[in-house]
Amino acid sequence: MNGKASAKGRVAARPHLAPATGHAQPYGLPLKGEDIPTPVQPIHFRIVTPSFNTRRFLGACVDSVLSQDYPHLDYRVMDGGSTDGSVDLLRSYDGRVRWTSARDGGQSDAINRGFALRDGEAVDPDGVLGWLNSDDAYAPGALAHVADIFARHPDADVVYGRATYIDAAGRHVADCAHVEPYSKHRLLHYSDLIVQPAAFFRRRAFDAVGGLDAGLNWMMDWDLWIKFARRDLRFVHTPRVLAHYRWLSGNKSAVGGAARLDEIDRAMAAHGLPRPAYVQLERCNLHLGDAVKALGRGRVDQAAVGVGRIAATLARSPRAVRSLFSLHTWRIIWVGQVLRARAAAADRPPPPASSPPGGGLG
């Protein structure tokens, strides 16, 4: 359900404010209803787009930000030295988008530097930050909706909403099924329940935890949410769709495989946390795929090894076992299968054109 602001600026889609305990509350309870007017002080956004050789989607990404038509927006594109025409495209936005193109230390480095840029301007610690990857897009009205929530809840540190998956052509594929109302326990022990392009946070919170860990390749966003959660910062969840996540077969998450899961496990261990339940289910799925392939080759012994690894993974994670009895878990698994099937179909070469009747060179 998408919320629309009334003439008085009230939000129809009611978010949930999670206090320091991590338990969600109905929107507005700490402020005693919706009769409190939106403060006059505007909410200022700094949005950063890291980009490298993604010209195909970069224009749609930039347009989705500019079309927000939000007056207090500082938008930066941090290009990593693209050679695919991205720089020419960015030049066409001169005067509307601040951008730079130079080699960087990767995605997290580009985002950290984009947030740190000052240009001689004063920095508002209560300002709101967010990053939008160059193949993703904001939903119409997202920034205004988020600004309204932050204005009504000056003690909120993070606001996040729903998102949808889209394909290379921008067509809807599925809802991001893993997004949930905030629970500190589930964030730390089960899953990354926040979809990154639909998340926004105060500068004061980002600076307090030292920003993104540039040493992480896959889970820099989840790691950031964990750092926020362990400081008992306040999260607000809104049921409104705020962004569109473009799922492609070449996405980092799609091709990360066991290396991605290993990075998550190491990062969790660095926080003193156990292996997350849903990540262990992903690992089981990899082992299952290996077992099926082994059977296809007639290697029953290798298939048995895969099955044994599944059993060992589940034995180490009782939470993963319990998750298998949740319809929510199976919905996430089903959406994942849809995404992979759609991406694989898009990558298949088109069938050869059939010869005309009576064809041949004759």
**164-173, 211-220, 332-341: the lowest-pLDDT one:** 332-341
pLDDT of residue 120: 73
pLDDT above 60: residue 264:
yes
Tokens of 51: 């980009």
C-alpha–C-alpha distance, residues 187 and 196, integer Å:
13
pLDDT above 60: residue 361:
no
**27-36, 66-75, 285-294: the lowest-pLDDT one:** 27-36
Contact 15, 237 (CB under 8 A): yes
pLDDT of residue 338: 84
30 DSSP 8-state letter:
G
pLDDT of residue 256: 72
Amino acid identity for residue 206 in this structure = F
3-class SS of residue 113: helix
Write the pLDDT tens digit of every residue in 24-70: 333 322 333 343 444 558 999 999 999 999 999 999 999 999 999 99
Mean pLDDT for the stretch of residues 330-345? 84
CA distances from 316 to 142, 187, 275, 285, 289 (A): 41, 19, 9, 15, 20
Amino acid identity for residue 173 in this structure = V
The pLDDT confidence band at residue 209, using thresholds 50, 70 and 90, is very high
Residue 99's nearest CA partner among 126, 72, 119, 84 is 119
3-class SS of residue 80: coil
211 DSSP 8-state letter:
S
Tokens of 82: 């693209």
Per DSSP bridges, beta strands 16-18 and 172-175 are unpaired
More confident residue, 156 or 250: 156
C-alpha–C-alpha distance, residues 135 and 274, integer Å:
32
The pLDDT confidence band at residue 187, using thresholds 50, 70 and 90, is very high
pLDDT of residue 183: 97
pLDDT above 80: residue 348:
no
The pLDDT confidence band at residue 8, using thresholds 50, 70 and 90, is very low
Contact 137, 180 (CB under 8 A): no
Tally of residues, the chain = 362
Per residue in 323-341, is it b (16+ CB within 10 Å) or e — as a string? beeeeebeebbebbeebee
Mean pLDDT for the stretch of residues 164-186? 95
Per DSSP bridges, beta strands 158-166 and 235-246 are parallel
C-alpha–C-alpha distance, residues 161 and 315, integer Å:
34
Tokens of 300: 């029953």
Give the position of tokens 């540039």: 214
Write the pLDDT tens digit of every residue in 230-245: 999 999 999 999 999 9
Mean pLDDT for the stretch of residues 312-340? 91
Within 10 angstroms of residue 252's Cβ, the number of other Cβ atoms is 12
pLDDT of residue 232: 97
The pLDDT confidence band at residue 215, using thresholds 50, 70 and 90, is very high
Beta bridge partners of 45: 73, 128
pLDDT of residue 21: 36
pLDDT above 50: residue 246:
yes
Q: Mean of the per-residue pLDDT values for the chain? A: 86
Write the pLDDT tens digit of every residue in 107-135: 999 999 999 998 777 788 899 999 999 99
Handedness of CA 191, 231, 50, 79 (dihedral sign): negative
Contact 329, 285 (CB under 8 A): no
Beta bridge partners of 79: 51, 101
pLDDT of residue 188: 97
Contact 129, 200 (CB under 8 A): yes
pLDDT of residue 25: 34
Q: What is the pTM of this model?
A: 0.84
List, in sequence order, the alpha helices (H) in 248-326: 252-255, 257-270, 277-296, 300-316, 318-323
Give the position of tokens 């930050």: 129
pLDDT above 70: residue 359:
no
C-alpha–C-alpha distance, residues 248 and 346, integer Å:
9
